[in-house]
Homo-oligomer: A and B are copies of this chain.
Amino acid sequence: MSTTATFYHAGCPVCVAAEQGLAESLDPAKFKVDIVHLGQEKSRVEEAERAGVKSVPAMVIGGQVYHINHGADLAALKA
| Interface residues in chain A, defined as those with a beta carbon under 8 Å from any beta carbon in chain B | 5, 17-18, 21-22, 25-28, 30-31, 59, 61-62, 64-70
Closest chain-B Cβ to A54's Cβ sits at a distance in Å of 10
Q: Would you list the 5 A-B pairs with minimal beta carbon distance, nearest first?
A: A27-B27, A21-B64, A66-B68, A25-B26, A21-B61
Compute how far the CA of A17 lies from the CA of B52 in the bound complex, rounded to whole angstroms: 15
Compute how far the CA of A69 lies from the CA of B36 in the bound complex, rounded to whole angstroms: 19
Compute how far the CA of A30 lies from the CA of B13 in the bound complex, rounded to whole angstroms: 23
Q: Are B21 and A30 in contact (CB under 8 A)?
A: no
10 extra A-B contacts, CB within 8 A, seeds A5-B25, A22-B61:
A21-B62, A22-B66, A25-B26, A25-B27, A25-B31, A25-B61, A26-B26, A26-B27, A27-B27, A27-B28
